[in-house]
Amino acid sequence: DAGVIQSPRHEVTEMGQEVTLRCKPISGHNSLFWYRQTMMRGLELLIYFNNNVPIDDSGMPEDRFSAKMPNASFSTLKIQPSEPRDSAVYFCASTRLGSNEQFFGPGTRLTVL
Amino acid sequence: AQSVTQPDIHITVSEGASLELRCNYSYGATPYLFWYVQSPGQGLQLLLKYFSGDTLVQGIKGFEAEFKRSQSSFNLRKPSVHWSDAAEYFCAVGRMDSSYKLIFGSGTRLLVRP
């Protein structure tokens, strides 16, 4: 099993640019989570999906953030326009419904200049 | 509301010494409890979990944790620390419903002296 795959691993962009982060969950997992990790705020849940449907997006900081899961094997987190305060490590995690044990990807380190 | 407190931001131990990382949670019922480890530049890896049953749970890499309902605690222990254990450790609590959300503590960074 390849585990949760995230791309890119590192992203450096300029303020105002659109950023798209990608995630491929573990095959057979039907819940997917997006987290953001910063020194100041720790690990925060942004949004999660069950069976490709967004269930709770209360952690999404602003309308600049959006997430989609068009199918069971792919999800995106988009920031448009990006700002320097969005700089963080973004993690994707997946789990099987009923399991409650989340498997994390390696993360995407985003730097917005 | 659920919450997780890890009171120690940093802990330094000597290699070979024992380790205990503290975790306290707030939850209205019996929670799911987890410990994750994050090495520098890596994602989080599950060390162990508690759902029910025996309150002393064994995990990977020689770690164990004990659930104490009366103290609302789930402390992580290891009898003899290795240099490779240096990392950040996160305690998390999950809800026993269909949401599958985890609430993470702020983490404890473990430093190991040679």
Comparing A75-79, B53-57, B61-65, which segment has the lowest mean pLDDT?
B53-57
Across all residues in chain A, what is the average pLDDT? 93
How would you label B53-67 residue by residue, b for 16+ Cβ within 10 Å and e otherwise?
eeeebebeeebbbbb
Q: Which residues of A touch B44 (CB under 8 A)?
A: 91, 93, 104
pLDDT at B4: 93
pLDDT at B94: 85
Q: Which residues of B touch A42 (CB under 8 A)?
A: 104-107
Reply yes or no on whether the pLDDT at A46 is more than 80: yes
Q: Which residues of A touch B45 (CB under 8 A)?
A: 104
pLDDT at B34: 94
- pLDDT range class, residue A49, cuts 50, 70, 90: very high
Q: What residues have CB less than 8 Å from B70, skipping those under 6 apart?
A: none
For an interface test with A, the pick among B6, B36, B91, B102 (most A C-beta atoms closer than 10 Å) comes out as B102
* Interchain proximity B43–A106, CB inside 8 Å: yes
Look at residues A1, A5, A91 and name the one whose alpha carbon lies nearest to residue A48.
A91
pLDDT at A94: 94
pLDDT at B99: 63
Reply yes or no on whether the pLDDT at B96 is more than 70: no
Comparing A27-31, A85-89, B9-13, B93-97, which segment has the lowest mean pLDDT?
B93-97
Q: Which helix (H) or strand (E) holds B78?
A: strand B73-78
A contact set with B (CB within 8 A): 4, 31, 33, 42-43, 45, 48, 50, 55-56, 91, 93, 95, 97, 99-107
- pLDDT range class, residue A1, cuts 50, 70, 90: low
pLDDT tens, residue by residue, A79-107: 999 999 999 999 999 998 777 788 999 99
Share of chain A above pLDDT 90, in %: 81
pLDDT at A96: 87
Give CA torsion, residues A100, B53, B67, A39, to 10 deg: -10
pLDDT tens, residue by residue, B14-56: 999 999 999 999 987 778 899 999 998 888 999 999 988 889 9
**Alpha-carbon span A64 to A51, nearest angstrom:** 24
pLDDT at B98: 57
Which residue, chain included where needed, has tokens 């104490």? B68
**Alpha-carbon span B38 to A106, nearest angstrom:** 10
* Interchain proximity B43–A105, CB inside 8 Å: yes
